[in-house]
Each structure stands twice: as C-alpha cells, then as structure tokens.
C-alpha cells in the first residue's frame, strides 16, 4: 500500500468518528447488559448473604444486625456439620472421577469419529437429557434404582446378584444417578478439546512405536489436561451444589450441603445467618478449587508460549 493510500485510510477513520480509538471499549459495551445483570442478581444477593452470615440468629426466624463470627464458629466446630460438608465433597469427588472415567472415552470417540452425520446424531442424543428437567431425570433414576426396578431385575436375571441391591435412597444410588445426570457436561466440554488435538500427533506417536493407548496417554492426555480440569471443576461444582437428585434419589440417607442449607435457612428452622455462613463456606471451597486448578495449569504455560 502506498503512503498516500495509508494516509487516506487513517483520515477516513478519523472522519468516521474515531472508530480505531474507540475500539478498546467495545468489549465492555458488548458485555454490559450481562455484567449489569450479574451485578444486580448475583453479586448483589451474594453480598447481602455475606452480611447476613455475620448477623446473630434470634430464635423464631429474626436476625440481630451485628458483626459476630458465631455462625462460622458453629459450623466449623460441630462434627455433624463438618460431616455433612465431608459427605458433600466426597460425593462431588466420586461423581467427578466417575464422569472423567466415563466421559473421556466417549468424548474421544466422538472427537475422532469420521462419519459426521453419525457424530451429529450421537451429540444430539447427549444433549437430549439436558432438555428435560433435572427433577424428571432424577425421578427416572428413582424408578430405575428401585428394589423392583429394571437395574435390580436385570442383575437378578443375569444371576449377578441374588438379592436386590439397596440402591434407591442410598449414597451409592445418589452417586450413580448424579454421575449420569452430569455426564453430558463432561462430554460436551471434553469433545472439542480432544478435537483440537491434531490426529497426526497420535499417528506420529504410533509410527514411533506407541500403541493406540500409549499414544493416547503420551500425547492426547497431556494436551487435553486443561479441558479435563475445566470439565472436572464444572461437574464437581454442579455435583456439590445439586439439590434435586440427592433429595429424590438419596432421600433421607444423603444429607448434602444444599439440602442442609435449605433445611436450616428455609425449612424447619429459618436460621438465615447460619444458612448464609454455610453457603459461604461452600463458595470459598469452590473458589479455592478453581484457583488450585488455575495453578496446576500454570505448569503447562511454558510450552504454550511463543518464542
């Protein structure tokens, strides 16, 4: 481009109301409706909850506006409360592990599928459960896991078991149902990440002496670690925050934090300060996990940077 042409472009830009200079602000402009929404309906209520968590509970449902650490102390010193937290985190960890183990092969197969129309159909099937309510899906699992439900009937018919397994209203049944309910999230997050790993890399590893599985371990797995981290965080957070599935499938056998918070703040007791404090404990744990995950990814940084 000649100098005069360049000049012309610049001058035209200036005449069009400084389009170039205004560009840095555009992203903010584009995000502003969402940001406003988040500020009013997420950050705002959270701040209110944070304030509540330092209030003092007055039996009967009232609150005394003050600044005390009673609620946090109550939660963190009572073995029962910590037990609920521990069960919640354990459920989240189990569900996440199951979904990694089940989701990775599914996502890999989808990502490497050559027939695009078959892949599209399978992908759609994966999304179908997300179109129905989580209550409906959990109810479906209640039917499946019942003592005379299809799962037990099948296992009995195959003579794998002699007595129906107690699955409904147990922690195990809850973990099974929750893993199934959250599996699509894992697969949806992992599939494009695996797709972004060039297939030639696997072929190269194979040509150099790695079998299929070895090539997957050496090449695909390290490269999809960020996606695996993201998928795990999403599934874990959804698992420890889930309400309907533990309530329906777990019944009274499974008391997890969301159910406990509901009981304390909105159920029999109406202790808002305590419920708020518990919410914040859970939130802080999630944030710490996200930070840990970011820290772990930091190690990948070196080879991702250009010279």
Partner 1 sequence: MNGLEVSGLSKSFDGATAVHDLHLTAPAGAFVALLGPSGCGKTTTLRLIAGFERPDAGEIRINGRDVRGLPPHRRDIGIVFQSYALFPHKTVFENIAYGLVRRKVAKPQLQTQVRDAIELVRLNGLEQRYPRQLSGGQQQRVALARAIVIRPSLLLFDEPLSNLDAKLRLNMRGELRRLQRHLGITTVLVTHDQEEALSMADQVVVMNRGEVEQTGAPHEIYTTPANLFVAGFIGEASLLPITVVSAADGVVRAQCGSTVLHLAGSQVSAPGTRGTLVLRSEDMRLVDADEPATDAVNVVEGLVRESTYLGAMRQYRVTGVSDADVIFRLPGNRGAILREGQRVRIAWPADAGSFCPEGPST
Please identify, using beta-carbon distances, which residue of 12 and 214 lies nearer to partner 1.
214
- How near is the Cβ of 291 to partner 1 at its closest, in Å? 23
- How near is the Cβ of 65 to partner 1 at its closest, in Å? 54
- CA-nearest of 155, 156, 178 to 243 is 178
Backbone torsions φ then ψ of 169, nearest 5 degrees: 60, 35
Backbone torsions φ then ψ of 299, nearest 5 degrees: -65, -25
- How near is the Cβ of 116 to partner 1 at its closest, in Å? 12
Query: Rounded to whole angstroms, how far apart are CA atoms 290 and 284?
Result: 10
b/e code 233-259 from CB counts within 10 Å (16+ = b): bbbbbbbbebbbbbbbbbeeebbbbbb
Please identify, using beta-carbon distances, which residue of 15 and 299 lies nearer to partner 1.
299
Please identify, using beta-carbon distances, which residue of 28 and 303 lies nearer to partner 1.
303
- How near is the Cβ of 204 to partner 1 at its closest, in Å? 4
Please name the residue ranges forming H helices in the chain. 3-15, 19-22, 26-38, 44-52, 70-77, 79-111, 116-131, 134-145, 150-157, 171-195, 199-207, 212-215, 221-223, 225-240, 244-245, 257-265, 272-298, 301-304
Backbone torsions φ then ψ of 62, nearest 5 degrees: -90, 170
- How near is the Cβ of 214 to partner 1 at its closest, in Å? 7
Please identify, using beta-carbon distances, which residue of 32 and 196 lies nearer to partner 1.
196
Residues that bind partner 1 (CB under 8 A): 198, 200-201, 203-212, 214-215, 218-219, 222-223, 300, 302-307
- How near is the Cβ of 11 to partner 1 at its closest, in Å? 35
- How near is the Cβ of 96 to partner 1 at its closest, in Å? 24
Please identify, using beta-carbon distances, which residue of 1 and 208 lies nearer to partner 1.
208
* 56: β partners: 64
Please identify, using beta-carbon distances, which residue of 117 and 268 lies nearer to partner 1.
117
Please identify, using beta-carbon distances, which residue of 222 and 267 lies nearer to partner 1.
222
- CA-nearest of 157, 161, 177 to 169 is 177
Residue 130 three-state SS: helix
């Amino acid at each position: 481009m000649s100098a005069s042409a360049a000049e012309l472009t610049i001058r035209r830009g200036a005449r069009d109301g400084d389009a170039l200079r205004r560009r840095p602000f555009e992203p903010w402009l584009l995000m502003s409706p969402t940001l406003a929404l988040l500020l009013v309906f997420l950050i705002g209520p959270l701040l209110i909850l944070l304030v509540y968590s330092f209030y003092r509970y007055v039996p009967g449902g009232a609150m005394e506006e003050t600044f005390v650490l009673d609620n946090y102390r109550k939660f963190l010193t009572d073995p029962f409360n910590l037990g609920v937290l521990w069960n919640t985190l354990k459920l989240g960890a189990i569900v996440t592990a199951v979904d990694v183990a089940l989701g990775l092969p599914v996502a890999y197969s989808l990502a490497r599928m050559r027939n695009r129309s078959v892949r599209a159909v399978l992908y759609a099937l994966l999304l179908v459960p997300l179109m129905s309510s989580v209550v409906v899906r959990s109810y479906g699992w209640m039917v499946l896991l019942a003592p005379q439900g299809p799962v037990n009937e099948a296992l009995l018919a195959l003579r794998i078991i002699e007595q129906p397994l107690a699955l409904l209203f147990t922690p195990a049944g809850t973990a099974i149902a929750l893993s199934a309910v959250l599996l699509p999230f894992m697969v949806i997050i992992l599939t494009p990440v695996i797709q972004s790993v060039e297939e030639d890399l696997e072929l190269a590893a194979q040509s150099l002496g790695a079998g299929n599985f070895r090539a997957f371990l050496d090449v695909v797995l390290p490269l999809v670690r960020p996606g695996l981290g993201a998928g795990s965080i999403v599934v874990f957070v959804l698992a420890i925050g889930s309400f309907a599935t533990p309530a329906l499938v777990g019944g009274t056998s499974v008391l997890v934090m969301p159910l406990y918070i509901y009981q304390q703040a909105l159920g029999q007791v109406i202790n808002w300060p305590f419920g708020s404090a518990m919410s914040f404990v859970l939130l802080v744990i999630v944030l710490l996990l996200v930070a840990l995950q970011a820290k772990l990814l930091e190690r990948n940084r070196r080879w991702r940077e250009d010279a």
